Chain A
């Protein structure tokens, strides 16, 4: 049985729209930095597009959220939904998007998670956050600020 996880996940959106998924123009992850070689490798692999899943997700989300023309809900908020299956890197995308949004707007992002993150991810998160200007990190039981 072939292991499907040796390849990037299926792009269901592309299949649904016959490939008419908008393309991102700006790489918002370029502003996200790491503090150690190990984390640097992760970010580097995201940037080089070894597996485009995370980079595409973050950049498409930010393209929408930072677009002044984007539709707003009844509370005046622009919204983006990443409907990715288990194991595609949603938690990484969430953290990197928070970091990129904070860097882009100069305002902290509030991120909520329901459970504890895996230890390695939490370490990466702490490492990323500690490089954020003006020390925007604070922590409560279930939320992180960047």
Chain B
């Protein structure tokens, strides 16, 4: 069987090496890619540029890295590819309001736990081989991220309650990675367990009587494990049902389980309010759920609450889901972060990715580039101020006896050998 073309929607997945390998094995002589965020770093750009120009990835990379200004070199290559008919880029500007980032303060306990984790992992990393070290670093990042996000549950709950009282629908995008710590211990001596951020938020909302739609992420790398296909299918079906509860409009299900939109005599879609007004969306799933379409003038406006992510692709995909898919009205975007190491690292990565995407001329990026820059800058300043305050506090707390001036010690003359005794 020969295909006229392989057509890949959500082509940002081509950053996964296995996806690239599978694509090349499909018989056919044409490939057509679709993506809102095909590249947010040099490697991903080189992959597509190589395909579109016929040059090797090595050659593309060499040309770009040899240039004085990397972003300018990428922009030049894009101009060339576009003018020779290799690609097309259209985009809506962001429609909504980007609010100043909400920067939370990290409690002394959270800071102490952060330090304990970093020091503990530093001990574990010692004398390990490279693959083990890499795994440990990934685990540390996960632990730090989950610990950092855990401090945002209450503030985000409060913000959600406020937004709901203003008759808005709320999309919360974040991570949901539960951890059993390698370092921190619970009171019973077992590894301290922390639930994922979105799962914790869901419980907190339920305790306040707020019902949410909850999208679950698929198990990591499960696409490549046939034994997990049934589980993936079950999660997919459940996610579809959860998404349906969040969407405005009237629907019926036909005999084959297909969900059909109800229409009035004029063939216009019938409006009905959604069953839930809050949806919790893990970043891994943001690109996969376009079912949020709603075009009803009666539909409430949408607010998005985002926590930091290192992935500019996922961040922009999440914004797209909220601002483009959900409402006829503008979307408010709230970024909630703190000054933890985890958030500063994620914001730094996010900023790099957004800067790369900005080289494509994307008009929707500018407000988020500014948002990430402001947030990272404020987090760094806040952290520095807190660190200085902490040092001063420690100095003030030192017993006076320690600082007793010892004239004998200071006035000891150097010995003839030059060694101070």
Seen from chain A, the residues whose Cβ lies within 8 Å of a Cβ on chain B are 1, 3-5, 8-13, 15-17, 20-22, 38, 53, 56-57, 60-61, 63-65, 67, 70-88, 90-91, 93-94, 97-98, 101-102, 104-120, 123, 141, 145
Contact = CB atoms under 8 A, between A and B. Distances in A.
Interface of B: 1-11, 13, 24, 26, 28-36, 38, 48, 50-54, 56, 75, 78-79, 81-93, 95, 229, 233, 236, 240, 258-261, 267, 287-291, 293, 317, 320-321, 323-325, 328-330, 360-364
23 contacts: A12-B361, A12-B363, A60-B88, A70-B85, A81-B38, A84-B91, A85-B320, A85-B364, A86-B36, A88-B92, A90-B9, A94-B32, A97-B7, A101-B32, A107-B3, A110-B5, A112-B7, A112-B8, A113-B10, A114-B287, A115-B236, A116-B236, A119-B259
Given A15-B361, A81-B33, A94-B32, A73 B5 contact: no
Contact of A82 (B34, B233, B267, B328): B34
Contacts, number: 244
Contacts of A80: 31-33, 52, 86-88
Contact of A108 (B3, B50, B290): B3
A5 to B, nearest CB: 6
Given A10-B91, A86-B324, A77 B51 contact: yes
Contact of A90 (B36, B56, B92): B36
Contacts of B329: 3
A86 B7 contact: no
A101 B325 CA distance: 28
Chain A interface mostly: mixed
Nearest to A24: B85
Contacts of B52: 71, 79-81
A119 to B, nearest CB: 5
Chain B interface mostly: mixed
Nearest to B289: A115
Given A5-B92, A118-B290, 15 more contacts: A12-B91, A16-B360, A22-B84, A67-B85, A80-B33, A85-B324, A94-B9, A94-B34, A107-B2, A107-B4, A109-B4, A111-B6, A114-B10, A119-B261, A141-B233
